[in-house]
Amino acid sequence: GQQVMQIPQYQHVQEGEDFTTYCNSSTTLSNIQWYKQRPGGHPVFLIQLVKSGEVKKQKRLTFQFGEAKKNSSLHITATQTTDVGTYFCAGGSWGKFQFGAGTQVVVTP
Amino acid sequence: SQTIHQWPATLVQPVGSPLSLECTVEGTSNPNLYWYRQAAGRGLQLLFYSVGIGQISSEVPQNLSASRPQDRQFILSSKKLLLSDSGFYLCAWSEGTSGEETQYFGPGTRLLVL
């Protein structure tokens, strides 16, 4: 069955640095979505990518969908303390929607 | 606009007691509804989903059950709680029929079973 994996599981980042988290699927996806969960909060939808090779930006966040539509990445530049939280990717394929285990991001000032 | 409510926000229950968590959605008709459980520091485990009144699909065998008595109401229940039922329970909704739509989460219920 479809598996969606995220790496790394944890990411410690110094404020001001850049980092990237990755999402990989065992099957080709029709779309991929990214969610952010702040500590103590609930997951909130960030963005959806549909096209092969698609790149979308939200301020300091850059989302990319791989050419083969089996992987995605989230790159954050100049990390701020407001970026702390867990970032989940979720892949859609054949009517199924599966969340990755998330990347927990800790930002140190 | 659409809103999703969950209650209670927190709950402490003894082992063996029953459970009822409620989720309601406003501002949409015939939504898809989902129950997830999240253990501390872990990912989202899909427990149940529903595409319509009385239609429940279970993703994992467990001590829990779900019901959808009304279009925008989704209830998670247990007859006898286990210690392993502790966690953060999230309800979510989506629109559409593909099964791959964006999901919108409620604020969640934190359940501690002692």
What is the domain count for chain A? 1
Domain span at residue B73 reads 3-113
Which letter, b or e, does each residue of B38-68 get, where b requires 16 or more Cβ atoms within 10 Å of its Cβ? beeeebbbbbbbbbeeeebeeeeeeebebbb
Give the model confidence (pLDDT) of B27-49 as tens digits.
Answer: 999 999 999 999 887 889 999 99
Judged by a CB distance cut-off of 8 A, whether residue A104 touches chain B is: yes
Region at A9 (left for phi over 0; alpha for psi -120 to 50; beta for the rest): alpha
Write the residue in B44, B102, B106 that is nearest to A88 by C-beta.
B44
Chain A partners of B90 at a C-beta cutoff of 8 Å?
42-43
Q: What is the mean pLDDT of chain A?
A: 95
The answer to whether A88 contacts B43, with C-beta atoms less than 8 Å apart, is yes
Split at pLDDT 50, 70, 90, the class of A54 is very high
- By the 8 A CB rule, do B22 and B73 touch? yes
Given this model, what pLDDT does residue A3 score? 87
Amino acid found at A36: K
| Bridge partners for B34 per DSSP | B49, B92
What is the domain count for chain B? 1
- Give the CATH number for residue B23: 2.60.40.10
Chain B partners of A93 at a C-beta cutoff of 8 Å?
100
Domain span at residue A25 reads 4-108
Region at B41 (left for phi over 0; alpha for psi -120 to 50; beta for the rest): left
Q: Is the pLDDT of residue B108 over 80?
A: yes
Given this model, what pLDDT does residue B61 score? 67
- Give the CATH number for residue A84: 2.60.40.10
Write the residue in A30, A43, A88 that is nearest to B100 by C-beta.
A30
**Which residue in B35, B57, B89, B102 has the most chain A C-beta atoms within 10 A of its own C-beta, making it the best mutation to test that interface?**
B102
Give the model confidence (pLDDT) of A8-38 as tens digits.
Answer: 999 999 999 999 999 999 999 999 999 999 9
The half-sphere exposure of A108 on its side-chain side, counting CA atoms within 13 A, is: 4
Give the model confidence (pLDDT) of A57-89 as tens digits.
Answer: 999 999 999 999 999 999 999 999 999 999 999
Q: To the nearest 10°, the Cα dihedral for B57, B59, B60, B63? A: -40
